[in-house]
Amino acid sequence: MKKRPLILVTNDDGISAPGIRTLISVMKELGDVIVVAPDSPQSAMGHAITINNTLFVNKVQFDNDLKGEYSCSGTPVDCVKLAVNELIKEKPDLCVSGINHGSNSSINVIYSGTMSAAVEAGIEGIPAIGFSLLDYDWNADFEPFKKYVRKIASEVLEKGLPEGVILNVNFPKRKEEEIKGVKICRQAKAFWKEEFDKRKTPQGKDYYWLTGEFINQDKGEDTDEWALANGYVSVVPVQFDLTAHHAIQQLNTYSF
């Protein structure tokens, strides 16, 4: 009998979030599942790790059909590090992160705890996928996207991924019949124009809320932002090698 693949599931919205519970339900169809996820929301933590505080891990049981389920007091990246180094006796065949409540397209991939968890798995040599939905509602409808999660994860389990590559998958906020399919995309050139809402406490001390406007300067029809706006599931291959290889030749002409 062929051994079922071992799948690590994590996220940044917390272990009880509807998005991760949906992802778990699909992964159980594909293999044996171990969950290690934050015990509270950790959105926009990027690739942060805990070095100046203790980390706590608790065994929990939201689902009886899992090989193990743990909540962690740390960041999404902490969760993956603990899973690989302490909690799992064998290397997972796949790591999936999400499904995030809110998209992680274009520049958002830099800030995303969801994607950073997947990237950390990639650093460990584990094929990894981050899944996100362009809907910030806690009660968002994830049902229309289960078949896409299943298909993408199945393909990666069967065929693997290029070395050093992680998939960033984003779903548009659409009804199932409105989704046109899947597009392999590049990351759009977009950014956040940040503003800070400055206020005062009753004691007169200044404090700030980060706000801002998302600006997409990219008019290309091969980007994740275009795909999402036009009803497609976007799949962007990302990498953790941040070297700007195209700049090396030019920099070698400088007199450093």
Task: Convert the pLDDT of each residue in 196-212 to its tens digit.
Answer: 999 999 999 999 998 88
Residue 111 has pLDDT above 80, yes or no: yes
Q: Which residues touch 200 (CB under 8 Å, ≥6 apart)?
A: 206, 207
pLDDT for residue 190: 87
pLDDT for residue 124: 96
Mean pLDDT of 142-156: 97
Domain 6-188+221-242 of CATH type 3.40.1210.10? yes
pLDDT for residue 245: 95
Task: Convert the pLDDT of each residue in 5-48 to its tens digit.
Answer: 999 999 999 999 999 999 999 999 999 999 999 999 888 889 99
Mean pLDDT over the full length of the chain: 94
Report CA-CA distances (Å) from 82 to 89, 117, 160: 11, 11, 23
- What does the chain come to in residues? 256
pLDDT for residue 192: 86
Q: What is the pTM of this model?
A: 0.93
Q: Which residues touch 125 (CB under 8 Å, ≥6 apart)?
A: 91
List the alpha helices (DSSP H) in 74-169. 76-82, 108-111, 113-123, 146-159
pLDDT for residue 41: 87
**Among the listed ranges 35-39, 49-53, 158-162, 190-194, which one has the minimum average pLDDT value?**
190-194
pLDDT for residue 211: 85
Measured between its terminal Cα atoms, the distance across the chain in Å is 61
pLDDT for residue 214: 85
Contact 188, 218 (CB under 8 A): yes
In the chain, domain spans: 6-188+221-242
pLDDT for residue 16: 95
Mean pLDDT of 84-109: 95
pLDDT for residue 1: 61
